[in-house]
Amino acid sequence: MHLKKIPHFTTLQKFFKRLPTAILQEINKIILANSEVNGEIVAMDGSGFTNDYADKYYAIIRRKERKSYVKNHISIDVPTRLILHFAAQRGPRFDTRFAIAAIRQIKHYKPKYTLADRAYDTEPIRKCINEEIKAQEQIPLKTRAKKGKYRLKSKTQFKQKIYTKRNNVESVFSVIKRIFNGTNRSRTQQLSNKETKLKNTLYNIYRSTQIQQK
């Protein structure tokens, strides 16, 4: 970057606080626009990112555990493992609360298959996938599922071979937490949500450089 002097870490902190979250989404769009993403197979999932800025030793001796966390929900393009859409809110929250909005955000990719685990097995989610984005949902049925047009129909449409590709979304979470840390250090909920979104954007930058090097 040709900097003669490295900025003090507080300068970066202040910049991060003032950075609009919308900018992270715009950066993500630029990355995706410059990548070969076809969106034929999309996988969705959510994972928790711990909020903890206390010293670990202090937490142990005082027997204090932080139960709050940020729920990070992502939709990825399976072949490239790039994040197409992300959302972050204070947990615990069910993944289904993010699902409908996430599905509508990936509509323009015209996916053929949308993959998700059993937690997403609800009739509204299946209806949204089938009717709004015209894709085939590959979601395992819950054991007690006995009604619902699309839930019952999925018994004949479920393809195990396609569904196994859902593991890619878990791999993405693993990389984010391993490289960019699964623990947030921000002291407010708003900044913690933004920190989680920043990690998603940084992951996409990291992943896009990997793809270009191949």
Q: What is the pTM of this model?
A: 0.86
Banded pLDDT at 9 (limits 50, 70, 90): confident
**pLDDT tens-digit profile of 149-181?**
998 888 889 999 999 999 999 999 999 999 999
Report which of 158, 127, 164, 130 is spatially closest to residue 142, judged by C-alpha positions.
158
Residue 53 pLDDT greater than 60, yes or no: no
What are the φ/ψ torsions at residue 116 (nearest 5 degrees)? -160, 160
Residue 55 pLDDT greater than 90, yes or no: no
